[in-house]
Structure 1
């Protein structure tokens, strides 16, 4: 299944903050975790993740520090800040409202309405 880019963009910040709330990670590990959490449906690229991480860092939601992997490679590790945790809590509340509204609509109308010719 392909996830619409608008939905990916809207969910990117709370998803990354939620992943970092589990513990500090470097970029590639974040990409892998997104794939795992989505059952492989969301395959982000470096070109999407790193601008987001830099924006989150500018906003004060994450801190970055250089470290060394077990294999001896230098990697930038990202950690959520207290400000980031507050932003995540706010986003969780917002997404809960959206998800509840969608659930109500979908349960009230289990099948999508038929498309009528001439209506677009």
Structure 2
């Protein structure tokens, strides 16, 4: 399934912050985790992720440090900050409202209109 780029963009910040809430990671691990979480339907690229990570770092939502990967390569690791946790909590609230509104719309769209059922 192809995910529309507007939906990918809208969900990118809460996804990254949520993933990093559990533990710090390097960019490739974040890309891999997004793919796992989406069952392979979301395939992020370096060109999409790294500008987002840099923006979130500028906003103070993330901090970065150099570390060594499991393979012994030097990699930049990203971790969520307290400011990032607050931003994540706010985004979670927003997404909960959006998801519930969509659920209601889709649920009501599955029922026949009242005129067809005689419930009017």
**What TM-score results when the alignment is normalised by the length of structure 2?**
0.90
What do the CA deviations read for 1:19-67 (whole angstroms, capped 9, x no partner)?
Answer: 0001100000000000000000000000000000000000000000001
Larger radius of gyration: 2
- Structure 2, unaligned runs of 5 or more: 112-120
2:93 corresponds to 1:59: no
Q: Which residue of 2 aligns with 1:89?
A: 89
Q: Which runs of 4+ in 1 moved over 3 A?
A: none
Q: Which residue of 2 aligns with 1:4?
A: 4
**Greater helix content:** 2
- Structure 1, unaligned runs of 5 or more: 112-120
**What TM-score results when the alignment is normalised by the length of structure 1?**
0.90
Q: In structure 1, how many angstroms separate the alpha carbons of the residues matched to 2:109 and 2:69?
A: 50
Q: How many residues align?
A: 111
Where 2:110 maps in the other structure, the secondary structure is coil
Q: In structure 2, how many angstroms separate the alpha carbons of the residues matched to 1:49 and 1:91?
A: 18
